[in-house]
Amino acid sequence: MVQRIQTLFLLGAFFLNGSHFFSTMAYSVSEQVKYTQFTPFLILIILSTIISFLSIFLYRHRIVQIRASVFNSVILAAYQIWILYLFFTRPQESVFSVTALFPFVSLVLTILAIKYIARDEALVRSLNSLRKSRKK
């Protein structure tokens, strides 16, 4: 399981998503804004982290793993777009942290995982067709 590159991609996405529970999104001179202070952000973080974690263990069911990863990609894209919207409408004295880019990095890692999972599925299907042709 861990020797597969897509598992490492999904694990990286899991840790990047999980880091949002402990980090600040933006700060100014007077206050700090954490990701978990907004309920919609908290829901998106929890969903994305759980889906990333569960899709690691779906390695025997590659089609389900691909579907879960695609759903996670949609969630991550929406989450990143929302953060970008807040970035462009922020007050002038506030500064966003580097962790605001973590959903984008997680999205890229998840897309790479989807690519390698699909490659594994194609390999397994080709081997199954070879087995069937030998039996005849």
Alpha-helical runs (H) found in 89-101: none
Q: What percent helix, strand, coil does the chain show, rounded to 5?
A: 75, 5, 20
Q: What is the pTM of this model?
A: 0.88
134 CA to centre of own chain: 40
pLDDT of residue 114: 96
- The strand pairing partners of 96, in sequence order, are 26
The per-residue pLDDT for range 79-94, each reduced to its tens digit, is 999 999 988 888 888 8
The per-residue pLDDT for range 23-52, each reduced to its tens digit, is 988 888 888 888 888 899 999 999 999 999
Domain boundaries, the chain: 5-135
Average pLDDT over residues 92-118: 93
Average pLDDT over residues 5-19: 94
